[in-house]
Amino acid sequence: MKTLDNLLSEGVKGRRVLVRADLNVPLDGDRITDDGRIRAVLPTVTALRDAGAKVVVCSHLGRPKGAPDPKYTLAPVAARLGELLGSPVAFATDTVGDSATATVAALADGAVALLENLRFNAGETSKDEAARAAFAAQLAALADVYVDDAFGATHRKHASVFDVARLLPAYVGGLVLREVEVLRRVTSDDVERPYIVVLGGSKVSDKLAVIESLLPRVDQLLIGGGMCFTFLAAKGYGVGTSLLQPEMVDTCVDLLQRAGDRIVLPTDVVVADAFSAEANTRTVDADAIPDGWMGLDIGPKSIAAFAAALAGAKTVVWNGPPGVFELAPFAAGTRAVAEAITKVDGLTVVGGGDSAAAVRQLGFGDGGFSHISTGGGASLEFLEGKTLPGVAALES
C-alpha cells in the first residue's frame, strides 16, 4: 500500500485530497458524547493541511436510509473537528451536490472541509455495483487524490471505501496502516507468547468465527460478558434469566471439548433480579445462579483468575467487556480487566467497539494500551481471517 508519507513526499500543496474518515461518533441530540474517532483522524488531516493540501473529509454517521435525515447530520462533527484543529472547517450541506461542489471549489491551500453524511446518498451502500460506481464517480470528481483513514469502515464494500480507491490515486492513512500492522501481528504464526485473548459481548454467535480463528493460536481464551452463559449452560449449569443462546449450546460443548483448559470461564458471577442499576444484587458461584436472576458481571474470584492469566502475558487482544459496565454495580469486572491489561509488559490491543468505549468511560483514556482499535466490526472480521474490501482496494 502507498502510504500518507509517500503522498506527502510527492507534494500535496494545492491538490484536493479526499480523506475517508470514520466520524461515526455517538450523539445525544447534537452533542457528541465521545469524540475519540474525530481525534483519531487528526494526525492525517493536520499533516495534509500543514502541507498545503485542500483537505476534503467525508464520513458516514449512523444508518440513515439513503436520504437526508437531520438526526444524522455531520454538522456537529464539523464544529468539533474545527475546534480540535484550531481552525474553521467548512461544511457542505450535501455530499456530491451543489453545496459540496461550491465548498470544495472555495477551499484555499491548507483549508479543510467536511462533506455531509455519505449515507444520505443511496449509492454509498448500494449492492447494485452500477449505482455504487456512479456515486463513487461523483465523489471522486471532487478530488485529485484519495486517502483512506477510516479503518472502522474498511470491512464494508461501500462506494467511498472501495470504489473511490479504484478511481483516484489511493493512499493509506496512518490510522488504517497502524490498525492493519497491529492486527497482522496478533494473527501471525510467530506472535509473542503467552498469548491471551479476552472476549466478552452478548452473543456467542457474534464471536464464533473469531473463536474458531484464534483458538489454534492462543494460549488462553478468557470468556466473560453475556456470551459466557451459553458456555456455562454447555457445562450443564443453570443460568437463570441470563443471556442465553440455546441454539449455540452444542457448539459451545464442542469448543470446550476441543480447547480443554485453554478456554477459561467465570467461576463466580454478579447476579441481579432485574436489568437495572437499582436492582438487588449478589455474588454466586457460576454453577449456582438462582432461578429468576441474571448474571451481569464476573465475580471477584473470576476477576482474580483473569488478572492472574493476564499478568504473565506478552500479547493480549481484548474484544468485548466482561460485564454491563454502563451500570455502576456491574462495572468491576470490566475495570479490573482493563487495569490488568495496562500492566502487561507486551503488545496489548483493545479491539474497538464497546471495549474502547469502556476504557474511556471508566477513566483509562487511551493510555496504558499499545493500541485501541477504532473499528469494532472491522477488527472482528480481520481477526476472523476475512479480507477487508477497503484494505484490498488500497493494496491493489
- The side-by-side arrangement of strands in the sheet containing 315-319 is 263-264, 220-223, 195-199, 315-319, 347-350, 371-372
Active site residue 203: yes
Point out the catalytic residue in the list 193, 203, 262, 314: 203
Residues in the chain: 396
The active-site residue out of 52, 97, 174, 377 is 377
Instruction: Examine the residue annotation and report whether 127 is marked as an active-site residue of this protein.
Output: no
63, 88 Cβ separation under 8 angstroms: no
Pairing of strands 268-272, 31-32: unpaired
Nearest-angstrom CA–CA distance, 360 and 331: 13
377 annotated active-site: yes
Q: Select which of 37, 49, 54, 207 is catalytic.
A: 37
Residues 6+ apart with CB under 8 A from 174: 3, 4, 43, 44, 47, 149
Catalytic residue, chosen from 226, 353, 376, 390, is 353
Question: Checking DSSP bridges between strand 294-298 and strand 268-272, what pairing results, if any?
Answer: antiparallel
Q: Is the dihedral of CA 243, 246, 248, 252 positive or negative?
A: positive
d(CA 223, CA 225): 7
Place of cell 466478552: 200
Give the catalytic positions in this structure: 37, 203, 353, 377
